[in-house]
Amino acid sequence: MNTLAYTPFIDALAIHAYWYLLIIPMSIFLAIGYKSVRCMDMSKFLREVIIFVIQILGGLMLMAIAFTIIIVLVLPMLAPMP
């Protein structure tokens, strides 16, 4: 049955191939929410949000690189496949 209203949990968007790109808006919204509570001077708000977003994304990239190195290089040395 096709209705005019969009039902998000029943008719989900087909973005399965690009799910990892959702980390960008999620980190932006997280930084806005966190810095709106913690920022003492709102004139520095935008700069602090941008710095925090870069820190979040940079940390996630470093963790992805570290886990890739562990899985590809270290794990085969610890438990070799016969």
Q: Could you tell me if residue 7 is left (phi over 0), alpha (psi between -120 and 50 degrees) or otherwise beta?
A: beta
Q: What residues make up the domain containing 71? A: 19-78
Residue 13 covered by a domain: no
Structurally, the chain folds into a number of domains equal to 1
Give the start-end residues of each E strand in the chain: none
Residue 62 covered by a domain: yes
pTM of the entire structure?
0.78
pLDDT digits (tens, 9 = 90+) for 6-38: 777 887 777 888 888 999 999 999 999 999 999
Residue 30 covered by a domain: yes
pLDDT digits (tens, 9 = 90+) for 33-77: 999 999 999 999 999 999 999 999 999 999 999 999 999 999 999
Give the start-end residues of each E strand in 1-78: none
Task: Measure the CA–CA gap between 55 and 77, rounded to whole angstroms.
Answer: 32
